[in-house]
Amino acid sequence: KTKGFIFDLDGVIVDTAKYHYLAWKALAKSIGIDFTVHQNEQLKGISRESSLNKILEWGNKTLPKDKFMELMKEKNNQYLSYITTMDENEILPGVTQILDYISQRKHPIALGSASKNSKIILQKVNLLDWFDAIVDGNNVTKAKPDPEVFLKAAKAINTPANQCIVFEDSVAGIQAANVANMISIGIGDSTILNEADFVFKDFTEIHVDFLERLIKTKKE
Ligand code: G16
Ligand code: MG
């Protein structure tokens, strides 16, 4: 039986979540807003625009449209400056092994990311060729927790939603996978990702027997 595997990017395949955090933190500071690591959890997985809206909300600030656009651009430039030096060493533990396992068994693999920078990053870490489809921030209009990104990814790999397995590090992404009726697997802290069907600290904790059972599991 064929399952479709959908991977989030930031925080699942590579640890770019830390770069997003640094870039947003600096940008917020430049307009006199501070936010905590805890608040940062809410920025994970959501779009650039939604992220800035949240930060402004936290700081009780509103901005004219042109200033808003300028700040989004500034954040992205800062982020891009962090990712230029990325290479294979920034692939998170166990990722290459699981991609290898899945593709050897001929299950299709898709990316389902909110990022508009996903292709550059996958190229940088030399993982682009593993993916049968890329659905990212350039292809969707609704940010996670809306399931649009995962539903499009499922379609792109010709797999019904209830036969898809999603790996996610964000609360919004787990919610999106659940709404899409996919099996949701959290990668990270189980107290934060408690809505997921399963949670693992990282991919090195996911063993072959678990994957074999998962492949046989069906969501109604
Ligand atoms: C990622 C991050 C988010 C970021 C979003 C948009 O999503 O988790 O923090 O705001 O992409 O990224 P960009 O500004 O690069 O378009 P994901 O879904 O890959 O975790
Ligand atoms: Mg993520």
**pLDDT tens track for 10-35:** 999 999 999 999 999 999 999 999 99
Cα-to-centroid distance, 72 and ligand 1 (Å): 12
**CB under 5 Å of ion ligand 2: residues:** 8, 10-11, 45, 169-170
Q: Which residue's structure tokens are 């399952």?
A: 3
Backbone phi and psi for residue 56, each to the nearest 5 degrees, phi listed first: -65, -40
* Helix pair angle (208-216, 95-104), 10° resolution: 50
Q: Tell me how far apart the alpha carbons of residues 194 and 192 are, in angstroms, rounded to a whole number.
A: 6
| Cα three-residue angle 59-47-40, rounded to 5 degrees | 45
Residue closest via CA to ligand 1's atom 13 equals 115
Q: Tell me how far apart the alpha carbons of residues 27 and 121 are, in angstroms, rounded to a whole number.
A: 22
Q: Does 10 participate in catalysis according to the annotation?
A: yes
The predicted model gives 106-118 an average pLDDT of 97
Q: Does 146 participate in catalysis according to the annotation?
A: no
**pLDDT tens track for 175-189:** 999 999 999 999 999
**Ligand 1 pocket residue status of 114, Cβ below 6 Å:** yes
Q: With bands split at pLDDT 50, 70 and 90, how would you rate the model's confidence at 213?
A: very high
Q: Tell me how far apart the alpha carbons of residues 173 and 196 are, in angstroms, rounded to a whole number.
A: 10
Cα-to-centroid distance, 142 and ligand 2 (Å): 15
Q: Flag whether pLDDT at 220 surpasses 70.
A: no
**Ligand 1 pocket residue status of 8, Cβ below 6 Å:** yes
187 labelled binding-site residue? no
Q: Which ligand is nearest to the CA of 11?
A: 2
Using CA atoms of 86, 125, 78, 17 in order, give the dihedral in degrees to the nearest 10.
-100
**pLDDT tens track for 37-93:** 999 999 998 999 999 999 999 999 999 999 999 999 999 999 999 999 999 999 999
Cα-to-centroid distance, 150 and ligand 2 (Å): 13
Residue closest via CA to ligand 1's atom 15 equals 115
